C-alpha cells in the first residue's frame, strides 16, 4: 500500500491479528489506506504512547484498538489523542471477551472510545465505522458506503427469495 495511512490499527498482541484482520479487510474494501501494528498498553506502554502522539501529525484520522483480557489499550490511546478511537474487544480469555468488552465500553466520562461487538463482527464493524467517519469529508467514500448498503440490502432480498423456495419445498 503506497498511500499515506488514514487509519491506524493497534493490537495488544499478534495473537489478536486473526480478529483484527477483519478491520483491515473492511478498510481495504473501501480503498482506505491503513497501517496495522502490535502495541500493548501494559507490555510496551512507551511504544503505545509515542505511536499515538505522532499519529495525527502523520495524517492518521481514526485509530482502532483491538485487545483482549483487561483491555485498557483503547482507553490509554484515547487519553493521548483527540483523534476518534474505535475499540474492538477480543475473545482472548476464559471470560470469552466480556472482560475486554466491559473494560472498553465502561470508559469514565471525558475519554470516550467507540466500542464495537466482541470478535470478528466488531472488528469488521470497526473498519466500516472508520469508513463512515472518513466519509463525512469525502463524497466519493460516501457514495461507496451507499452502494455497500444497497448491495447488502439486495443480498437479504435474495436470501428471502431463496428461503421462500426452501420453505415451500419443506412444507408442500
Rounded to the nearest angstrom, the gap between the alpha carbon of residue 77 and the centroid of all alpha carbons in its chain is 14
Grid coordinates 461507496 are at which residue? 144
**Residue 126 sits in the site that holds ligand RP5 (CB under 6 A):** no
Q: Indicate which single residue of 10, 24, 63, 68 sits in contact with ligand RP5 (rule: CB under 6 A).
A: 68
Nearer to ligand RP5 among residue 35 and residue 91 (C-beta) = 91
Site string (85-114) toward ligand RP5, x via CB under 6 A: -----x-x----------------------
Which residues is 85 bridged to in the sheet? Answer: 63
Give the integer Cα–Cα distance in Å for 70 and 135.
Answer: 32
Give the integer Cα–Cα distance in Å for 62 and 99.
Answer: 24
Give the integer Cα–Cα distance in Å for 137 and 122.
Answer: 24
Q: Indicate which single residue of 5, 12, 75, 122 sits in contact with ligand RP5 (rule: CB under 6 A).
A: 12
The x, y and z cell numbers of residue 30, run together, are: 473501501
Give the integer Cα–Cα distance in Å for 106 and 115.
Answer: 9
**Residue 37 sits in the site that holds ligand RP5 (CB under 6 A):** no
Q: Given the rule CB under 6 A, which of 24-32, 61-69, 130-138, 157-165 is the region that contacts ligand RP5? A: 61-69
Nearer to ligand RP5 among residue 41 and residue 131 (C-beta) = 41
Give the binding site for ligand RP5 (CB under 6 A).
12-13, 15-16, 40, 67-69, 90, 92
Amino acid at each position: 500500500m503506497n498511500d499515506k495511512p488514514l487509519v491506524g490499527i493497534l493490537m495488544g498482541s499478534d495473537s489478536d491479528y486473526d480478529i483484527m484482520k477483519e478491520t483491515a479487510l473492511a478498510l481495504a474494501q473501501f480503498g482506505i489506506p491503513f497501517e496495522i501494528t502490535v502495541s500493548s498498553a501494559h507490555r510496551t506502554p512507551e511504544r503505545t504512547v509515542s505511536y499515538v502522539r505522532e499519529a495525527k501529525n502523520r495524517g492518521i484520522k481514526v485509530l482502532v484498538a483491538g485487545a483482549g483480557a483487561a483491555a485498557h489499550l483503547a482507553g490509554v490511546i484515547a487519553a493521548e489523542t483527540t483523534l476518534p478511537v474505535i475499540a474492538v474487544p477480543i475473545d482472548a480469555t476464559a471470560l470469552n471477551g466480556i472482560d475486554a468488552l466491559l473494560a472498553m465500553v465502561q470508559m469514565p466520562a471525558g475519554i470516550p472510545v467507540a466500542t464495537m461487538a466482541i470478535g470478528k463482527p466488531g472488528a469488521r464493524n470497526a473498519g466500516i465505522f472508520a469508513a463512515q467517519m472518513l466519509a463525512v469529508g469525502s463524497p466519493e467514500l460516501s457514495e461507496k458506503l451507499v452502494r455497500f448498503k444497497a448491495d447488502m440490502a439486495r443480498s437479504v432480498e435474495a436470501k428471502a427469495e431463496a428461503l421462500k423456495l426452501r420453505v415451500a419445498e419443506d412444507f408442500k
